[in-house]
Each structure stands twice: as structure tokens, then as C-alpha cells.
Amino acid sequence: MQSCLLSLVLIAVVAESANAGGEDALAPCEAVAAHVKSVAADPRVFERQRALDYEALLAPIIRLPPPELADADLWAKAMQLLGSDHGLVVEVQHVDGPVWRAVQVAGTANCQTEQFFSVRPDGELSAIDKPAIFGDLCWRSYRQIGRIGEQPALIEQEVREHPLLGLDVEITPWTSGERATCQVTIRFNDAFHVTERFCKDGLLCRAAEPLAPKLAEALARAADGSTLPIVAPPPPDTARALAARLHDVKESIESDHLGYTMLPTFGAKPRTEYATYAGNHQVALVETAGKTLIARVGIGGVGWREMGDYLIAFYADDMHGLDPVASFVVERQNTGLQMVTTSVPQPYVNAR
């Protein structure tokens, strides 16, 4: 009940701010930040939440109802304006008044392409400049039509995984005047736990198990999500002697066809949803139980898409091939809110 009352108060604050025009561009995001802190004060929120599911934190102050879609005639005109291939997924969504948004989704990354337009009194369409975006609108970056309080708004969200779990939310209230955007930056604490273990060599398996969550966390903490810092390094002489071999292993792994590298489970059936390494996985030398092993560290998924738990495999190397001796599934669990901040974001610039 307390959370609902707070949300109603915040919704009123947001609506009042929106009606005031551009006088306080941060006000909608400050209200959302206060709401998130209130909801996150209950630890049960995170017990029920999967790592990348943040809807419970943002509702009801941010509402993302199903968009009102155009009729067939308007949809056909919008398709022409967008220049869309009929084979692509397209929606024509009402924003406010005469303003609509046509969006197509294409490619394996589900990239969005937008066109905003208004419907003239004669029924024809006039293109409107697209509002700035703050992510590439691909994969886990997307924009939707929603409402902040009672105000129509563009809600853009970018899910973050490195170095912390989190979410960036950009809010652009749709008004007749200036469309100022503010950002809510939300970051979470997390913990890494072994949930499944598969052993060929019981002694090495028990010795390597404590390293599995450390390796998963090391990969997660990399700002780019692809650099694996050194964990449990072997003696320098051993590392130098095996440097060339590790390089060969890296090249071999990088040449693997995406989506076809399975976690070795020695005949057992894993419970994790994705037991196949996604595109980005790293290797490193580790020392455990007096032996130097090669560790493969990555995330389960389909092709290049990382969607599952961390997958950690340990290999002995006889110089003729990699011999798997143990593997682990590591879960990354959201353990609670670390911080919430608000700011005025910079528009996205594609550096590629």
C-alpha cells in the first residue's frame, strides 16, 4: 500500500512537471529514481527477479502499455514513408494527437529503424524529425511509446551487463514544445554461485570449483565484457612455457562456429537453459591442485547472443588436444540496488 501511494504522488509530480514545459528536465527522472529506491527497499523484489527483468522496478510510474496501432490505410502509407521491406516486422504506433511512429525491426539483433510523422487533415503524411536516440536500438537497447504519469513519452532502455548489472532509462516526454530528455542510471550489486558441476576427474573438479565463480565474475567485471583478467595464475616459468600453446588454443576457440561449442558435461544433461557457448568466450591458464589447466569462460546463448548462465570448463592439455576434466554452470544473481542517479544524457553516436 505504501509503495502504491508513493507511486501516485510521484505520478502527480511527473505530470505537473510535464505541464510546466522544459523548466525542469530532470524532474521525471528524479521521480522515477525515487520510485526505484522505494521498490528496491524490499529485498523480495530481487528474489523474484531474473537478472535482466526490470519491469517490476519501473511499474507503475513508467507504463508501457501495448501501443495503439494504425488501421490498414494509415499503415500502408506509413510503410511507403518508411521505405520498408514487407518482409520486415513493422508497427505503426500512435504517439499523441496527429503524431505517429513507424518502427521496423530487422536482423538477428532485432535492430529498430524509426520514422515519426504527422497525419495532415487531408489524410496524407508529413515526416517529423526523429528525436535523438541514446543507444543503437539493437539487441538490448530499444525504444517504446509509453507514459510518464499521464504524459505520453518515448521510453528508451539499454540493459547493461558490464561491469555491473544495470539499466539506463531515457525519458523524452512528448510535448508540443521542446522535447527534453533525462536519464535514470540504475546499477545493481550481484553475486556468482555454482549451480551445476560436471566432473571427469573428481580431485581436479573439487579443486577447480572455487575458481569457477571467480572466473565468471572476472569476465563480468570487464568494462567491455570480453577481457578476462588473470585469476589463479600458474608459476611464471609455467606460464611462459605454455604461452604459445595458450595462443594456439585461443585461435582455435575463436575459429569455432558460433553456437556449436557445448559445455562438456561427460554424458550428463545440464539443467541450465543454454549449455552452448555464445560468441564471446575467453581462455586463460589457471593453477589448481598443483596442476596448470586451461579454463574456458563464457556465457550460454544462441550464436553470438549471450542469454544464459556463465559456462566454465577446465581442460588438461597433452599438447595434442584439450582434455576436459571438469565444468561448471555459474549463476549471476542480482542481490540488490547499488545506486540510482539522474542526468541529462548525450545522444548516441555510432563509432563504427
Quickly state the pLDDT bin for 259 (edges 50, 70, 90). Answer: low
Closest CA to 6 of 25, 45, 33, 24: 33
Burial bucket for residue 97 (CB in 10 Å: 0-12, 13-18, 19+): exposed
User: Mutual orientation of helices 2-19 and 27-40 as an angle, nearest 10°?
Assistant: 170
| Mean pLDDT on 66-76 | 90
**Percent of the chain at pLDDT exceeding 70:** 86
pLDDT at res. 21: 44
For the CA atoms of 235, 221, 300, 283, what is the dihedral angle to 10 degrees?
-20
Question: Is 263 within 8 Å of 313 (Cβ atoms)?
Answer: yes
Percentage with pLDDT > 90 across the chain: 60
In the predicted model, what is the mean pLDDT of residues 142-146? 93
| pTM as predicted | 0.88
Strands 322-343 and 141-148, bridge-based pairing: unpaired
164 vs 108, higher pLDDT: 164
As a whole number, mean pLDDT of residues 100-114 equals 91
- pLDDT, one tens digit per residue, over 321-331 is 789 999 999 99
